[in-house]
């Protein structure tokens, strides 16, 4: 998981460094026509530049998310699939967190470098969001986490139904054992008024 997180972090920061060196802020560079463009912007807020005046809140939130992922990975994750998903998600979170911590205008209030514009994803609206490599892994990782939860794969790799199956099987086995014991024991008491048909009949007394 750690290797994946480092690779995503490196890819994100490398791509940002490239656009900082070769793009002018606000100038669109077509890559695949209008469907894919590179536009360098500095985002102090969240998606669509929301919360521009409270950048420090996003820094704290991302730090908490990163901490939770690391904690889960160290204490609960035993599934390779979960490790891959959380590793990619962690790398994306760290990519944007690094911008918040170390870029201008200052520590913990830095602006995130965004540059990928795909207007078709936003139905060609004039205020389409511009994002970066870290955002791709954050959104993809969150979608993968939701999918794993929906299909019931636990952090240890077991499914919810599979985990409960041994308990149900044990209950059924206990019930069968109890029923067998009751059948072997037979009735506790025999009614004396009911004669045993196999017993010999008592001799009749002679009348005086």
Closest CA to 103 of 95, 28, 11: 95
**What is the crossing angle of helices 133-150 and 2-22, to 10°?**
150
Distance CA 182, CA 60 (A): 64
Active site residue 135: yes
* Helix runs in the chain, H state only: 2-22, 55-75, 80-102, 133-150, 160-185
CA–chain centroid gap for 2, Å, is 17
Asked whether 47 and 129 are in contact (CB, 8 A), the reply is yes
Catalytic one of 12, 99, 135, 191: 135
Which residues lie closer than 8 Å to 156 by C-beta, 6 or more apart? 76, 77, 78, 79
**What is the crossing angle of helices 80-102 and 133-150, to 10°?**
150
Catalytic one of 12, 114, 156, 191: 114
Q: List the catalytic residues.
A: 114, 135
């Amino acid at each position: 998981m750690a290797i994946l997180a480092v690779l995503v972090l490196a890819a994100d920061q490398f791509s940002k460094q490239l656009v900082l060196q070769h793009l002018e802020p606000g100038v669109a560079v077509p890559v695949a026509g209008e469907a894919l463009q590179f536009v360098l912007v500095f985002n102090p807020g969240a998606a669509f530049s929301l919360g521009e005046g409270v950048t420090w809140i996003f820094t704290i939130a991302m730090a908490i998310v990163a901490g939770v992922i690391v904690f889960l990975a160290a204490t609960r994750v035993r599934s390779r699939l979960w490790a891959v998903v959380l590793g990619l998600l962690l790398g994306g979170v760290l990519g944007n967190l690094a911008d918040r911590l170390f870029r201008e205008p200052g520590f913990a209030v830095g602006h995130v470098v965004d540059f990928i514009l795909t207007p078709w994803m936003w139905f060609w609206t004039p205020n389409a969001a511009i994002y970066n490599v870290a955002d791709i892994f954050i959104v993809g990782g969150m979608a993968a986490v939701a999918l794993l939860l929906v299909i019931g794969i636990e952090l240890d790799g077991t499914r919810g139904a599979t985990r409960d199956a041994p308990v149900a099987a044990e209950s059924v086995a206990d019930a069968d054992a109890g029923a067998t014991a009751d059948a072997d024991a037979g009735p506790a008491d025999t009614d004396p008024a009911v004669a045993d048909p196999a017993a010999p009949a008592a001799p009749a007394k002679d009348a005086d």
